[in-house]
């Protein structure tokens, strides 16, 4: 089994990062410092050795000793004293051939000077700085010629400082720098710890991997929620929006994010919530030509409002769902009524058979069969869409229970209704129009309601007609208004046709009503089968039963 690797904590990451950076910077600085300091120290030491060598070469004692028979007796004590005073590793004086008169090691007096760097002093009479390896090791040397009164080079002075001693001095400085660097690293660790604590405080004590996980979960939740969600900061700028909100508002994300919410929705109360800190729940508003229910919750931090989250859902969709549920319940009741009626017919048939009226029973069965067969031929052969079949079966049961005739026009022809015409919308349109027609003929003994449908061309055309009393003159323009009804009742009425008109318009269609010369009222609905089609109407309107 593979074990999940435990994520590194933010505090640990910061400390490692800071310490690594400090060590890298300190190593780089120390290297550069060592190089520059060593270079400067060599330069200064060389200049110092040169100046001392020049000074010694001009000393009268040296000049006089060089002319004596035994120069070493005078020069050796003098150079040792100078060497001790200036803390040099050697002060050597040689003759014109490079033989030593003085040396820290007396055994080497009289021997040839080592290093091969005397030529310019002895032959050219020049003073200079050189770096060479002598009997004592690698050293920086100051070379100066000893010139007699007549201008002849009679000897050379060599003052040297060993490179090993210079490096030791640099190492001592490097140790001091390392101690300071160690102190800086410790300060960096403490600073990294304090910085990590401060950052964790700002991010509510969460680790980066926890924030990333929350971010992914938040995006998944926002995409899965069907309600629209918009978040704004305390100044009203939109900081977050989910796909459902974009669909409801019919906007793109770039039209919302970082934009002032009052520029998008001028009359919004969301800033009131930001100002007062009081939430708003289940508030109904009209937003972008839609009825929506809004909930607004302030985002608090230390009792200060730092933003507001607004969730909203389309009330139309809720009403449509509720209406569909009501219609389904109604169809269930209608089918039970049809079952009850069919049971009554079976009882009648059973009674006829018990009384021996076989011919009457047979005639009655044939009559019922012919009526049902003619209706079923139209319903199942001419109308192929199962959703429309289900609606009509339910309404046929209602008409039969009310003892009214619901005719299905034999010229009807419908294939499969396209998916852009939702079942809930079809239920609302067809159901309300047939219910209204059945109510219109309920007081007439010869009341007839007719249904016709055709999907030829670009439109699905639905036509419902009845021979009821119709509408009073001048009221046709009012019948689609919410709450308008020609009937008097204690309960609220006049919503059916308003729902029909709203559903038809949302589908991009139109609905028409007219009173014909044969005293029939005809409602005609045109629904575009293609969602992008809506501006043009089918040229076959003349085929409708109006």
- If one counts every other C-beta atom within 10 angstroms of the C-beta of residue 513, the result is 19
% of the chain with per-residue pLDDT over 90: 8
Q: Of 273, 235, 232, 234, nearest to 256 (Cα)?
A: 232
Return the pLDDT at 536: 45
Q: Are residues 214 and 127 in the same domain?
A: no
Same domain, 387 and 509: yes
Of 278, 311, 344, the one marking the end of a domain is 311
What is the pLDDT at residue 335? 65
**Is residue 180, in this structure, part of any structural domain at all?**
no
Give the residue, 481 or 18, on which the prediction is more confident.
Answer: 18
User: Helices in 58-99 by DSSP H: which ranges?
Assistant: 60-66, 71-86
Looking at the structure, tell me whether residues 149 and 222 fall in a common domain: no
Residue 347 lies in a domain: no
Reported as type and span, the H/E element at residue 370 is helix 358-376
What backbone phi and psi angles, to 5 degrees, belong to 150?
A: -90, 5
Tokens of 136: 């004592």
Both tokens of 102, joined, read 């003085």
Amino acid 524: pLDDT: 93
Query: Is residue 541 very low, low, confident or very high in pLDDT (cuts 50, 70, 90)?
Result: very low
Phi-psi region of 303 (alpha: psi -120 to 50; beta: other; left: phi over 0): left
The answer to whether 461 and 542 are in contact (CB under 8 A) is: no
Where does the pLDDT of residue 138 fall: very low under 50, low under 70, confident under 90, or very high at 90 and above?
Answer: confident
Read off the tokens for 373.
């067969």
Output 357 or 372, whichever has higher pLDDT: 357
393-408 confidence digits (pLDDT tens): 878 878 877 888 888 8
**Is 192 within a domain?**
no
**Per-residue pLDDT at 543:** 42
Average pLDDT value for residue range 231-235: 89
- 342 in a structural domain: no
The owner of tokens 């550069």 is: 32
Residue 257 phi/psi, 5-degree rounding, is: -60, 130
Q: Which domain covers residue 98, as residue numbers?
A: 12-169
Q: Which of the two residues, 368 and 254, has the higher pLDDT score?
A: 254
Q: Which pLDDT band, with edges at 50, 70 and 90, does 328 fall under?
A: low
Q: Is the pLDDT of residue 132 over 60?
A: yes
| Structure tokens, 365 | 């069965």
Q: Which whole number is the average pLDDT over 509-531?
A: 87
pLDDT single digits (tens) 493-514: 445 788 888 888 888 899 998 8
Average pLDDT over residues 310-336: 68
Across 214-224, b (16+ Cβ under 10 Å) vs e yields eeeeeeeebee
Say if residue 375 is in the same domain as residue 423: yes
Give CA–CA dist 141/114, Å, rounded.
Answer: 12
- Tell whether the model's pLDDT for residue 338 goes beyond 70: no
In the numeric block, the tokens 């390896």 are attached to 133
Residue 27 has a pLDDT of 82
Which of the given ranges, 203-207, 353-357, 396-400, 456-460, has the highest pLDDT on average?
Answer: 456-460
- Longest Cα pair distance anywhere in the chain, in angstroms? 176
Quick: pLDDT tens for 160-195.
888 888 778 777 777 887 888 888 888 878 887 888
CB 394 within 8 A of CB 336: no
What pLDDT is attached to residue 270? Answer: 84
Confidence of residue 69 (pLDDT cuts 50, 70, 90): confident
Tell me what pLDDT residue 341 has: 65
CA angle 83, 89, 93 (to 5 degrees): 60
Quote the pLDDT of residue 538. 42
- Structure token pair of residue 270: 């969301």
d(CA 483, CA 480): 9
Q: β-pairing, 459-466 with 521-528?
A: antiparallel
Structure letter (DSSP) for residue 380: I
Domain identity same for 23 and 140: yes
- 174, part of any domain: no
**β 448-454/290-301 pair status:** unpaired
Higher pLDDT, 62 or 205: 62
What is the distance between the alpha carbons of residues 93 and 304, in angstroms, rounded to a whole number?
87
CATH, residue 429: 3.30.565.10
Rounded CA-CA distance 220/217 in Å is 5
Contact 106, 121 (CB under 8 A): no
Cα 402–Cα 407–Cα 408 angle in degrees, nearest 5: 135
Which class for 113: exposed (0-12), middle (13-18), buried (19 or more C-beta within 10 A)? buried
Q: Extract long-range pairs of 532-535: CB within 8 Å, 24+ residues apart.
A: 533/458, 533/508, 534/508, 534/509
- 409 and 517 belong to one structural domain: yes
Give the chain's length.
Answer: 546
Rounded Cα–Cα distance for residues 495 and 484 (Å): 7
User: Is residue 474 predicted with pLDDT exceeding 70?
Assistant: no
Q: Are residues 253 and 387 both part of a single domain? A: no
- 460 φ, ψ (degrees, to nearest 5): -95, 120
* Cβ-contact 147, 153 below 8 angstroms: yes
Higher-pLDDT residue of 328 and 303 is 303
State yes or no: pLDDT of 2 exceeds 70: no
Residues 253 and 125 grouped into a single domain = no
The stretch 43-47 carries a mean pLDDT of 89
**Same domain as 233, residue 138:** no
User: For the chain, what is the mean pLDDT?
Assistant: 80
For residue 483, is pLDDT > 60?
Answer: no
Q: Which of 281, 311, 341 is the last residue of a domain?
A: 311
Choose one of 169, 189, 221: the last residue of a domain: 169
CATH of the domain at 219: 3.30.450.20
415 & 511 share domain? yes
pLDDT classification of 373: cutoffs 50, 70, 90: low
How many independent structural domains does the chain possess?
Answer: 3
* Minimum mean pLDDT range among 4-8, 83-87, 266-270: 4-8
Spacing of C-alpha 316 from chain mean position: 30
262 in a structural domain: yes
Same domain, yes or no: 120 and 217 = no
Query: Which pLDDT belongs to residue 461?
Result: 93
| 471 found inside a domain | yes
**213 in the same domain as 132:** no
Buried b (16+ CB within 10 A) or exposed e, 484-508: ebbeeeeeeebebbbbbbbbbeebb
Q: How many CB atoms lie within 10 A of CB 22?
A: 20
Most confident segment among 42-56, 259-273, 529-543: 42-56
Contacts of 184 (CB under 8 A, 6+ apart): 22, 26
pLDDT at 492 (0 to 100): 40
Is position 333 within any domain? no
CA nearest 449: which of 366, 382, 392?
A: 392
pLDDT category at 276 given cuts 50, 70, 90 is confident
């Amino acid at each position: 089994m593979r074990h999940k690797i435990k994520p590194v904590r933010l505090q640990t990451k910061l400390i490692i990062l800071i310490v690594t950076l400090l060590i890298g910077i300190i190593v780089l600085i120390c290297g550069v410092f060592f190089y520059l300091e060593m270079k400067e120290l060599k330069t200064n030491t060389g200049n110092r050795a040169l100046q001392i060598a020049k000074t010694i070469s001009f000393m009268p004692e040296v000049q006089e000793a060089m002319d004596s028979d035994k120069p070493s007796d005078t020069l050796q004590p003098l150079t040792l004293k100078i060497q001790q005073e200036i803390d040099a590793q050697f002060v050597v004086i040689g003759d014109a051939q490079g033989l030593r008169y003085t040396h820290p090691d007396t055994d080497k007096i009289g021997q040839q000077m080592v290093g091969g760097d005397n030529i310019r002093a002895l032959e050219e009479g020049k003073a200079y700085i050189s770096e060479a390896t002598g009997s004592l090791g690698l050293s920086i040397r100051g070379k100066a010629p000893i010139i007699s009164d007549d201008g002849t080079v009679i000897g050379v002075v060599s003052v040297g400082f060993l490179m090993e001693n210079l490096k030791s001095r640099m190492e001592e400085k490097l140790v001091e720098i390392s101690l300071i660097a160690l102190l800086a690293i410790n300060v960096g660790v403490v600073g990294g710890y304090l910085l990590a604590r401060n950052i964790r405080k700002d991010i509510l004590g969460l680790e980066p991997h926890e924030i990333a996980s929350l971010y992914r979960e938040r995006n998944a939740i926002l995409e899965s929620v069907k309600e629209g969600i918009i978040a704004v900061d305390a100044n009203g700028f939109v900081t977050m929006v989910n796909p459902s909100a974009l669909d409801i508002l019919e906007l793109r994300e770039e039209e919302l994010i970082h934009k002032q919410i009052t520029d998008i929705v001028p009359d919004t109360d969301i800033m009131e919530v930001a100002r007062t800190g009081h939430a708003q729940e289940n508030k109904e508003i009209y937003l972008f030509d839609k009825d929506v229910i809004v909930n607004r919750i302030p985002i608090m931090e230390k009792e200060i409002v730092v933003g507001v989250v607004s969730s909203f859902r389309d009330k139309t969709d809720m009403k449509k769902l509720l209406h569909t549920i009501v219609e389904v319940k109604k169809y269930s009741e209608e089918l039970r009524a049809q079952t009850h009626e069919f049971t009554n017919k079976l009882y009648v048939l059973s009674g006829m058979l018990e009384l021996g009226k076989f011919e009457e029973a047979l005639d009655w069965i044939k009559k019922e069969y012919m009526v049902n067969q003619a209706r079923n031929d139209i319903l199942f052969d001419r109308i192929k869409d199962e959703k429309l079949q289900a609606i009509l079966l339910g309404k046929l049961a209602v008409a039969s229970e009310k003892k009214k005739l619901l005719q299905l026009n034999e010229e009807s022809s419908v294939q499969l209704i396209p998916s852009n015409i939702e079942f809930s919308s079809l239920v609302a349109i067809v159901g309300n129009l047939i219910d209204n027609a059945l109510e219109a003929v309920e007081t007439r003994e010869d009341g007839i309601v007719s249904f016709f449908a055709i999907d030829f061309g670009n439109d699905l055309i639905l036509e419902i007609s009845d021979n009821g009393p119709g509408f009073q003159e001048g009221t046709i323009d009012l019948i689609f208004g919410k709450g308008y009804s020609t009937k008097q009742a204690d309960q609220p009425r006049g919503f059916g046709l308003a729902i029909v008109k709203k559903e038809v318009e949302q589908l991009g269609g139109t609905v028409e009503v007219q009173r014909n010369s044969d005293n029939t009222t005809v409602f005609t609905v045109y629904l575009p089968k293609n969602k992008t089609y809506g501006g043009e109407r089918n040229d076959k309107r003349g085929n409708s039963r109006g």
